[in-house]
Chain A
Amino acid sequence: MIFAFDFIILLFLIPVAIVALQLKDLLAAAMVFGIYSFLMCLLWAEMGAVDVAFTEAAVGAGVSAVFMIATIFNTKRNSSD
């Protein structure tokens, strides 16, 4: 619940979200989405929701990125937009 910390992380989140959607290399997009999840995890730890932050660190930044990479490995790596 420190507003300066909150402010900086929230400002970081928007470019990271846009980059995750704009990258043409899907593998890179999945990794940037992992970074996005990790920033979210920091944000929730800062706001006092430690359980949510823990879950997001395990699930969002870890397992869901692995699932996406597994799918990209079995389909196509490049996207048209």
Chain B
Amino acid sequence: MKKLAGIVVFTVGLILLYGVSSLDDFPSWGTPDSPANKSPLSQYFIKNTIVDTEVPNMVTAVLADYRGYDTMFETVVIFVAGLGIFAVVRVFEHGGASRVVTADTKPDIIITNTCRLLIPLIQLFALYVLAHGHSSPGGGFQGGVIMGASFILVALAWDLDIALKRFSEKQAFICSGIGILIYAGFGLASVFLGEEFLNYGIIHKILPGVDSPEMARYYAMLGVEIGVMFTVTSIMFLIYGLLATRGKMTAGL
């Protein structure tokens, strides 16, 4: 088996190396003239995102506006992955006699006090990443992962039970559903106002204080990213809780 794997990997690698280095029409690294960089689509994005949406970060604009369907269903994929993990490993034990053995049941004083200091800053930073994702790197996915990591830090420093008191399993599932509903709600709002699904420009008719479709897109993107953040935060925390306790959702790592 190992020999066969070696032969397969070596052959495929040689063919690919030949493909990327000997063929003349393979574009070299960093050239602005490669077909991917000269494609009308990417040139359109670079020229027009600021005009269409007022968002300086092109990646956020393309992610949440031009490719809105893609991002929405990526969020659904994350939600379904969370549901799948729940379905695979969750066990319900009535009585609770058999607790999982943990390495150290008493929380360490230095670690808990450091975490007490750090966790508010981490959560504040997650919200900053979310809110400032329009003009600097960041957005809903990154902010959500950082926010989920702050809850994971609570579970690591104290206990999963303490973390579940602050953000229970049921609340986490409800939040992950709410995130997708927020995203789809922006799409449906634009449908009811007379545009296509996820074409946010028309929302300026109902948003107070917003008079142009461009600014409406700007704020709708922020709302959409908040929805993404809800889902990613709660699913990351749920995945950690389920994996660390073999699905018992108590004690654990």
Are A and B close enough to touch in the complex, i.e. CB under 8 Å? yes
A residues near B, CB below 8 A? 1, 50-51, 53-55, 58-59, 62-63, 66-67, 69-71, 73-74
Least CB distance, B145 to chain A, in whole angstroms = 4
Q: Provide the main secondary structure of the chain A interface.
A: helix
B residues near A, CB below 8 A? 30, 57, 59-60, 129, 137-139, 141-142, 145-146, 148-149, 152, 156, 236, 239-240, 243-246, 252-253
Least CB distance, A44 to chain B, in whole angstroms = 11
Contacts of A51 in B (CB 8 A): 57, 59-60, 137-139, 142
Besides the contacts A1-B30, A69-B253, A74-B253, what 7 more A-B pairs have beta carbons closer than 8 Å? A51-B57, A51-B59, A51-B60, A51-B139, A67-B243, A71-B243, A74-B246
Tell whether, in the assembled complex, residue A58 and residue B239 are in contact, meaning their CB atoms are under 8 Å apart: no
Tell whether, in the assembled complex, residue A63 and residue B145 are in contact, meaning their CB atoms are under 8 Å apart: yes
CA A54 to CA B133, docked complex, whole Å? 11
Instruction: Count how many pairs of residues, one from A and one from B, have CB atoms less than 8 Å apart in the complex.
Output: 52
Least CB distance, B98 to chain A, in whole angstroms = 14
Task: Pick the residue among A1, A63, A69 that contacts B148 (CB under 8 A).
Answer: A63
Least CB distance, B134 to chain A, in whole angstroms = 12
Tell whether, in the assembled complex, residue A63 and residue B30 are in contact, meaning their CB atoms are under 8 Å apart: no
Tell whether, in the assembled complex, residue B137 and residue A50 are in contact, meaning their CB atoms are under 8 Å apart: yes
Tell whether, in the assembled complex, residue B239 and residue A67 are in contact, meaning their CB atoms are under 8 Å apart: yes
Least CB distance, A20 to chain B, in whole angstroms = 16
Tell whether, in the assembled complex, residue A54 and residue B138 are in contact, meaning their CB atoms are under 8 Å apart: yes
CA A72 to CA B142, docked complex, whole Å? 25
Task: Pick the residue among B141, B149, B236, B244 that contacts A73 (CB under 8 A).
Answer: B244
Residue of B nearest to A53 (CB): B137
CA A60 to CA B84, docked complex, whole Å? 21
Least CB distance, A61 to chain B, in whole angstroms = 11
CA A70 to CA B156, docked complex, whole Å? 10
Least CB distance, B243 to chain A, in whole angstroms = 4
